[in-house]
Amino acid sequence: MVVPHLMMKMNIFFFFYVTLFQLLINPALSLPLCTDSNAPHTPKTPLVFCNYNGSSCCDSTDDSNIQKQFESMNVSQPACASVLKSILCSRCDPFSAELYTIKTAARQVPVLCNSTVSSRNNFCETVWDTCQDVSVTNSPFSPSLQGQSKLSDIWQSRSDFCNVIGRASVNESVCFDGEKVSINISTNSTKSTPTGMCLEKIANGSYLDMVAHTDGSNRAFFSNQKGQIWSATIPEVGSGRGLDLDESNPFLDLTDQVHFDIQFGLMSIALHPNFAQNGRFFASFNCDRTQTPSCAGRCACNSDVNCDPSKLAPDSAAQPCQYQSVVAEYTTNTTASSRTSVISTASPVEVRRIFTMGLPFTSHHAGQILFGPNDGYLYFMMGDGGGGDPYNFAQNKKSLLGKIMRFDVDNIPSESEITRLGLWGNYSIPRDNPYNEDKDLQPEIWALGLQNPWRCSFDLERPSYFMCGDTGENEYEEVDIITKNGNYGWRVYEGATIYTPEKSPGGNTSTGSINPIFPVMGYEHSDVNKNEGSASITGGFFYRSTTDPCLYGSYLYGDLYARYMWAGVETPENSGNFTTSNVTFSCAKDSPVPCDLVPGSELPALGYVFSFGQDNKKDVYLLTSSGVYRIVPPSRCGYTCAYESRTTGSTPAPTSPSGSGANMLKDSCKSLLLLLLLFIGLSYY
């Protein structure tokens, strides 16, 4: 029996290392999220077996399946039965994705609290003491063993068990203590509230989108609405230099393919995650089928969604689906070995057409594309088509309007397969898209119920925070945290308020038939109009640069009309609860490109704030109709920040806020602990 005994030890040690590795690579809390990446919801039918009837990751079917699993375990000891029931039901917890650490491999049981922080947080020891000698059929702790087993059959002691199954219940982690996860994180009382946001102007051109080069350098790509894209070199903060961009030499010129008008144009650009090696480049734009032969796609208003384009209300002089939304792929003209050393150009000839769809109206077609930082899939934001969404496209699961879509552009099916599947172009469907869970959904859909998602981003430090600014109709502009299969309410709701459409030839959706996810931030039109015009949100980024330490960790967003900027702060961190404040902004007097001012004020004349951008150093930019602006140290505008250090005779050097220092220390400890674990493991064998 020596070999089986050794194999058991090897399995335990392997499980031990894998589990600890999972915990180490993902120490920070995420927002409430289920194991299938969906957002928690309130069950329509109360759960009978599991006590999770508030926000939950289970519905009545899940609840019934968990009950059947529990009953099949045949646990005769009442105390152990109660403990095991709570463990099985933890899959319903709003933080179940964190409890089951699914980012690298799924666990069969949650991470149990193993600490002396409080009397109730010794739950791992409680489980051992209660169940160590109780026979359980098909125990979740030993799925590889069939029939009956005891914890003491697998682990020799309580410490062995808790080293593998447990986790210290400190503020930086989520673990299960037998009850619904409750996060109680104290806010950083030393964090200084920003007194203002300082900008420097680095270019005069008007650009609609910006993406950083994937090689980690100080290069980035800028695009304008007309259809031109440039590769540019970004100067160091405080260097006094402007953006190095040659407008006479675009990286890619698509003006002969792009239909440019107030609502139309080149809407977004995206680099493949391996762009530095493969040169794959993507553009999202609008075309006019009456002008461009290649502009041909199915109309978004079709029989599949009970919409007849011939009966659409007239929308200016446009024909229904005269204008199309396109996502196309291009490639650079240089070899892989030269892409990281020289600024290259791209061929204007498409490699492939990823997506084409005809638009029913001439507004609200969004158009941003970006790659997910964790999954490498291409996300495509699509508006509802405009006009108050009279055909209720945003709630129609067969329509792609008012949706966020998710494509796999690395695995392109054959033409016959594309036709068989009814796809809109050259892409495949990721296997974990939510249509596998909701058969009514079109397979491309990741999230629904949006009006016009204008500028979305992933948080660099917490990629589960996928943030989108979604434009409103009459009353409210919103910021949403986007999750798999999330329904953001439009047009049943505008923000968190019930919306009554003026016209609804496409029918309505009842409030009781959906579980809407309401915005985490936003603003009322009445708060910003001030008789100065309309309101329209421009979504931004979580600020992760140390250039302005007092903005660190804030989600920045603004209004298109450049009168207001906001900083959203999550309190407590990782809770999904945000408080927002209006942020004063001004332009540094030593700006490389002089800033024009709004007459009679010190406010920089930004014009329209089209988009925000972010470079490889995590600095944040404003792309406006009057130029490109970058956030710089606050002292350059006379603002104060307690974290900003000053060096006599030089540009103020920003310092990391306390949270960043803690993360650096945590990273060092993680590396040392991993090395120690490897050494112990090798020594053991």
**Mean pLDDT within 154-169:** 86
- Amino acid 403: pLDDT: 98
- Amino acid 568: pLDDT: 96
- Residues 393 and 384: their CA atoms lie apart, in Å, by 6
Q: Is 335 helix (H, G, I), strand (E, B) or coil?
A: coil
- Amino acid 207: pLDDT: 98
Is the link from the previous residue into 491 a cis peptide, with omega within 30 of 0?
Answer: yes
* pLDDT above 60: residue 15: no
Inter-CA distances, 430 with 393, 412, 436, 444, 484, Å: 23, 11, 10, 8, 12
- Residues 627 and 606: their CA atoms lie apart, in Å, by 7
- The average confidence (pLDDT) of the chain is 85
Highest mean pLDDT (candidates 157-171, 184-198, 426-440): 426-440
- Amino acid 317: pLDDT: 54
Q: Grade residue 297 by pLDDT with cuts at 50, 70 and 90.
A: very high
- Amino acid 312: pLDDT: 79
- Residues 198 and 654: their CA atoms lie apart, in Å, by 13
* pLDDT above 90: residue 298: yes
The answer to whether 426 and 420 have CB atoms below 8 angstroms apart is no
The burial class, CB within 10 Å (0-12 / 13-18 / 19+), for 61 is exposed
Q: With pLDDT > 70 as the criterion, what percentage of the chain qualifies?
A: 81
What pTM value is reported for the model? Answer: 0.83
Please give the single-letter amino acid code of residue 421. L
Which residues does 476 contact at the CB level (< 8 Å), separation at least 6? 494, 495, 497, 519, 522, 523, 524, 525
Question: In terms of Cα–Cα distance, which of 448, 438, 511 is closest to 482?
Answer: 448
Place of tokens 């064998």: 685
**Mean pLDDT within 564-572:** 92
Q: Grade residue 525 by pLDDT with cuts at 50, 70 and 90.
A: very high
* pLDDT above 70: residue 186: no
* pLDDT above 80: residue 535: yes
The answer to whether 472 and 426 have CB atoms below 8 angstroms apart is no
* pLDDT above 50: residue 658: no
Q: Considering only CA atoms, give the Rg of the chain.
A: 27
**Mean pLDDT within 135-164:** 87
- Amino acid 662: pLDDT: 39
| 26-35, 86-95, 204-213, 494-503: least confidently modelled range | 26-35
| 40-54, 185-199, 247-261: least confidently modelled range | 185-199
* pLDDT above 70: residue 316: no
- Amino acid 369: pLDDT: 98
**Mean pLDDT within 369-397:** 96
* pLDDT above 70: residue 423: yes
Q: With pLDDT > 90 as the criterion, what percentage of the chain qualifies?
A: 67
- Amino acid 334: pLDDT: 67
* pLDDT above 80: residue 337: no
Q: Grade residue 672 by pLDDT with cuts at 50, 70 and 90.
A: very low
* pLDDT above 50: residue 661: no
* pLDDT above 70: residue 2: no
- Residues 453 and 467: their CA atoms lie apart, in Å, by 10
- Amino acid 666: pLDDT: 43
Q: Grade residue 677 by pLDDT with cuts at 50, 70 and 90.
A: very low
**Mean pLDDT within 378-404:** 96
| 43-47, 231-235, 327-331, 445-449: least confidently modelled range | 43-47
**Mean pLDDT within 520-526:** 94
- Amino acid 333: pLDDT: 73
Write down all domains in the chain, each with its CATH number in brackets. 15-184 (no CATH), 197-637 (2.120.10.30)
**Mean pLDDT within 162-176:** 75
| 2-6, 122-126, 195-199, 670-674: least confidently modelled range | 2-6
